[in-house]
Amino acid sequence: MNEPVRVAVTGAAGQIGYSLLFRIAAGDMLGPDQPVILQLLEVTPALKALSGVVMELNDGAFPLLHGIVTSDDPKVAFKDADYALLVGAMPRKAGMERGDLLSANGGIFKPQGEALSEVASRNVKVLVVGNPANTNALIAQQNAPELDPKQFTAMVRLDHNRAISQLAAKTGAPVSAVKNITIWGNHSSTQYPDLSQATVNGQKALDLVDQQWYEEEYIPTVAKRGAAIIEARGASSAASAASAAIDHMRDWALGTQDGEWVSMGIPSDGSYGVPEGLIYGFPVTIKNGEYSIVQGLPVSDFSRQKMDATAQELTEERDAVRELGLVK
């Protein structure tokens, strides 16, 4: 059995937190040999509700759960954290785009970036889930001068999982047969779920579906799935978001399978002509806790236009948070 690691989760009394914490405690994120200490951050008025969640975590009698810390102070919750899942932020309501949350939520991520920089483990792996996730990750990263920018990532894994599931349903294959989908760009309706390299049972996905379905049904269904869930449930996705966060962190910590990639929102190094510094969804492989962008994939004119459009939106979001003084 390994020494326990510290996992910080913000917004821990919220709806995603309620699914996420129990999965982490059960070992779904870091494996069956890795004990965890949960360090939970909430705003002061939510600490009472959080104390109830802690009672339930204790009542789960999870063998891997070696301790729980709760606080309304990021410097306590992030102290020596090895993993930080930044979930705490306001969700959107029907009729809003995720970018509409920038001014409400952006301010949360500057002090959290500063606190991570000051007190977290020097190797902390940070995942931003709170929307707009890519630009919030940029804000946290830009305010964490003592950490490597590559330590900050944003969640496009829910989109990636949605893209797998929609393709599996269309082709009648199990989800495990679908490989190498990419979500390029922003976790927003401009994202580009790219099937050009995807396979289903080893066959090229685009040979199995027609182009019109791909362009006119598949892409919008994946890109607008969050809104469809809000419409149906009256609240934004929670259990599927928690599950995607587990997938993102598990793969980052434990690695991807040979010959397969996953999508992660990471700082662009200029690959594929994406402006450097934007937190952008890329296809990545992961080994020994380090992710690398899959290089050399062909980019059609159709892909280029979609990849540029979502980069343009992220550039505009970055300009907006610059105006608010949240990034340099």
Ligand X SMILES: NC(=O)c1ccc[n+]([C@@H]2O[C@H](COP(=O)([O-])OP(=O)(O)OC[C@H]3O[C@@H](n4cnc5c(N)ncnc54)[C@H](O)[C@@H]3O)[C@@H](O)[C@H]2O)c1
Provide the annotated active-site residues.
187
> 3-state DSSP call for residue 322?
helix
- Whether the CB-CB separation of 18 and 27 falls below 8 Å is answered with no
**Hunting for tokens 């999982």 — which residue is that?**
161
The entry of ligand LMR, ligand X, none near residue 303 (CB within 5 to 8 angstroms by kind) is: none
CB of 43 to ligand X, least distance (A): 5
**Which of 49, 69, 177, 229 lies at the binding interface for ligand LMR (CB under 6 A)?**
229
248 binds, among ligand LMR, ligand X, none (CB under 5 to 8 A by kind): none
Nearer to ligand LMR, 53 or 244 (CB): 244
Q: Interface with ligand LMR includes 15 (CB under 6 A)?
A: no
Q: What is the DSSP string of 213-257?
A: HIIIIIHHHHHTHHHHHHHHHSS---HHHHHHHHHHHHHHHH-PP
Neighbours of 51 (CB within 10 A): 12
* Residue 15 interacting partner from ligand LMR, ligand X, none (CB closer than 5 to 8 Å by kind): ligand X
Cα distance between residue 295 and residue 300, in whole Å = 15
In whole angstroms, how large is the CA radius of gyration of the chain?
19
**143 versus 236: smaller Cβ distance to ligand LMR:** 236
Q: Residue 129 or 147: which CB sits closer to ligand X?
A: 129
177-216 residues in contact with ligand LMR (CB under 6 A) are none
Q: How far is the CB of 109 from ligand LMR (least distance, A)?
A: 15
Positions 75 through 134 that interact with ligand LMR (CB under 6 A)? 91-92, 98, 131
The burial class, CB within 10 Å (0-12 / 13-18 / 19+), for 202 is: exposed
Q: Min. distance of Cβ 185 from ligand LMR in angstroms?
A: 14
Residue 130 assigned to a binding site: yes
Residue 229 binds which entry of ligand X, ligand LMR, none, CB below 5-8 Å type-dependent: ligand LMR
Q: E strands within the chain?
A: 5-10, 36-41, 65-71, 83-86, 125-128, 152-154, 178-179, 182-184, 192-194, 199-200, 203-204, 262-267, 279-287, 290-293
Closer residue to ligand X, CB minimum distance, 35 or 113:
113
Tokens in use for 234? Answer: 């009256």
The span from the CA of 299 to the CA of 316, in Å, is 23
- Residue 311: which residues within 8 A CB-CB, separation 6 or more? 185, 274, 275, 278, 280
Nearer to ligand LMR, 87 or 286 (CB): 87
Binds ligand LMR (CB under 6 A): choice among 99, 226, 277, 281: 226
Task: Judge whether 274 is annotated as a binding position.
Answer: no
> What's the min distance (Å) between Cβ of 311 and ligand X?
18
Size of the site for ligand LMR (CB under 6 A): 9
The binding site for ligand X (CB under 6 A) comprises 10-11, 13-17, 41-43, 46, 87-92, 108, 129-131, 133, 155, 158, 187, 236-238, 241
Dist CA 130 CA 300 (whole Å): 32
CA dihedral 264, 82, 35, 266 (to 10 degrees): 0
Which amino acids are annotated as binding site for NAD(+), given as ranges? 11-17, 105, 112, 129-131
Which amino acids are annotated as binding site, given as ranges? 11-17, 92, 98, 105, 112, 129-131, 162
Binding residues for ligand LMR, rule: CB under 6 A, are: 91-92, 98, 131, 158, 226, 229, 236-237
